[in-house]
Structure 1
Amino acid sequence: MMEKSGTDASHRQDARRPARIGSVDTHAHVFERGLPLTQRRRYAPDYDAPLDAYLAQLDAHGITHGVLVQPSFLGADCSYLLDALRRAPERLRGVAVIGRDCAKDTLTEMADAGVAGIRLNLIGHADLPLDNWVSGQTLAYVRELGWHVEVHAEAARLQRIVEPLLEAGVNVVVDHFGRPDPDLGVRDPGFRRLLELAHTQRVWVKISAAYRNWRDLRTGDDDMHEAVRLLKEAFGPGRLMWGSDWPHTQYEAREHFAHALKLFRALLADDEERSAVLADTPARLYMFNGLRPCSCGT
């Protein structure tokens, strides 16, 4: 069952107040029942996950900022996402889903609302060339804005998706550990190829939603730790980020925000590394500080 939160004026005011960037949840979703759903969807929730409930989660766990990612089942209609961003502009940034040929004016309007990137969620979709999903002209606009492209795809497909994006000159964020095959874990050849992309210094990886990769988090504990070790070794903590994946769609019956944060702390025990992953890196990439991230690596 979804957590409830109040909607009084003082809470709304606090949500908009500028705050020190102490920690960022880089992956969460907000939505309500009754919103228009895209025809090509794998799943649609039967509950509400509104902005106030998400902000209450951040407050309860001491997370200062958040990144809202457009849910796949809402397609390219980002109106609900943009409204949420406008309600807490100092605290939130967004990642949008757009059409293949999205106009520059539309992207600029999204940027003004707090969007900092676009998402290609290709789970369940055919393995087609990148141009099928986003045109070269649209990628040029994305690059001009200083945005990144977030990729959600199985590890086996990542290299074929990420390399053309890098060739187009955009930065890339890879979702959820790179989605290794649950039966292979860190032995997945696609995961190993993801590690090789670290040398570009233009790829970031989210340590998030472990339950989408390891069916049993207890038996997969060693493999998760090994995945984080390998990611740190390849990318360094400066190119890793954490996300709660709230409200844990399709896993909401057994997952919750507190567990996601506890697991992250167990996987990354060093305080200095945690600070980089939780604050320094996402503050730059999502432009919370108003500065565009470097596209050449640091």
Structure 2
Amino acid sequence: MTTTPSKTEGWLDWYADPTRPQFRLPPGTVDAHCHVFGPAAQFPFAPERKYTPCDASKEQLFALRDHLGVSRNVVVQATCHGADNSAMVDVLRSSAGRARGVATVRPDVTDEELRELHEAGVRGIRFNFLKRLVDGSPRDDLATIARRIAPLGWHVVVYFEAAELEELEGFFETLPVPLVIDHMGRPDVTAPVTGPEFSRFLRFVDRTAAWVKVSCPERLSVSGPPALNGERHAYLDVLPFSRRVVEEFGDHVLWGTDWPHPNLTDHMPDDGLLVDHVPLLARTGQAQRLLLVENPMRLYWPDEAV
């Protein structure tokens, strides 16, 4: 009999009853960063994982999609599943074409396996440099993977801490595929938005024409969520950073919920509130349409983009 593993102590469960957003997302909105976890009884977690989450199924993801008014999803392989992409691929095959995927693969992945992933809807690979989530990211292996996926027209999603960019940017610039940066490179929002660290990040984005996800304000914020008084504006200390990225690189920005919000122990965000955060960082209808519809369609569904 298969037993369900116990969730990592201190982790919060995702918010099961999100409010309905006040901001109405434009038709065709893409949630360009979300995950599924298991269910563990069907899709076991990797033995080498750094954490054990609670289950977060494709049915629950699709229910959230419809509740928020999202049209499509980009499902990013969760580190707790390692390089077994079965749970993520199952979402893609169950989505009737409304989901794309970002996988994790090893350097010895076969051409046939890559073709199968492509046919399922995978369009990118994620390289994770957060030491608390992965044991290491050997650059020779990553470079090999990038060369392998280049003929497919895929991209590489990179996840790193802001302080690590100086060490990593030279390597990133050697990769022969487009770059997508998770969560604005995790800036220190207590530092000035005009300071040297974030300025380096902006120069890097400009130099490489990278795509940037202005996502996860709940992970970056120090001020945190609003008080429980009906206030819909939260994570305001992140806004100077996300607004600047949107205003400078409006045709290369993406947005996502990060549902089911892994590795949070302080508070769990209300996904309806995260939608209401969007018009604060993208302040015009055109900026919102680029962020939510046109950019992710161009990257993940280019044959359908208008």
TM-score computed with the length of structure 2 as normaliser: 0.80
* Partner SS state of residue 173, structure 1: strand
User: What code does the residue aligned with 2:83 have?
Assistant: A
Counterparts in 2 of 1:274-289, with a 5 A limit? 274-287=288-301, 289=303
- Find out whether 1:25 has 2:31 as its counterpart: yes
Name the residue aligned to 1:215: 222
Count the aligned residue pairs.
Answer: 272
Name the residue aligned to 1:42: 50
Alignment CA distance shift 1:85-1:222 (3 Å): closer
CA contact (8 A) 1:23 1:65 kept: yes
CA deviation after TM superposition for structure 1 residue 251, in Å: 3.1
CA deviation after TM superposition for structure 1 residue 186, in Å: 3.4
CA contact (8 A) 1:175 1:205 kept: yes
* Partner SS state of residue 262, structure 2: coil
Name the residue aligned to 1:238: 251
Identity across the alignment (%):
32
CA contact (8 A) 2:246 2:281 kept: no
Name the residue aligned to 1:85: 92
User: What code does the residue aligned with 1:277 have?
Assistant: L
- Find out whether 1:149 has 2:156 as its counterpart: yes
* Partner SS state of residue 134, structure 1: helix
Name the residue aligned to 2:212: 205
**Cα displacement string for residues 30-80 of structure 1 (whole angstroms, at most 9, x for unaligned residues):** 1223443334433221x2211111111111111111110011111111011
Counterparts in 2 of 1:92-107, with a 5 A limit? 92-107=99-114
TM-score computed with the length of structure 1 as normaliser: 0.82
CA distance in structure 1 between the aligned counterparts of 2:181 and 2:113, rounded to whole angstroms: 24
CA deviation after TM superposition for structure 1 residue 101, in Å: 3.2
CA contact (8 A) 1:21 1:283 kept: no
CA distance in structure 1 between the aligned counterparts of 2:109 and 2:223, rounded to whole angstroms: 40
- Find out whether 1:175 has 2:182 as its counterpart: yes
CA contact (8 A) 2:124 2:157 kept: yes
Name the residue aligned to 1:68: 75
CA distance in structure 2 between the aligned counterparts of 1:211 and 1:221, rounded to whole angstroms: 6
CA distance in structure 1 between the aligned counterparts of 2:165 and 2:205, rounded to whole angstroms: 13
CA distance in structure 1 between the aligned counterparts of 2:49 and 2:185, rounded to whole angstroms: 21
Name the residue aligned to 1:270: 284
CA contact (8 A) 2:162 2:185 kept: yes
CA contact (8 A) 2:161 2:186 kept: yes
Structure number with the bigger relative contact order (C-alpha 8 A, sep ≥ 6) is 2
- Find out whether 1:249 has 2:249 as its counterpart: no
Alignment CA distance shift 1:83-1:118 (3 Å): same
Stretches of structure 1 that go unaligned for 5 or more consecutive residues are 5-19, 292-298
Stretches of structure 2 that go unaligned for 5 or more consecutive residues are 1-12, 18-25, 227-233
CA contact (8 A) 2:225 2:269 kept: no
CA deviation after TM superposition for structure 1 residue 156, in Å: 1.7
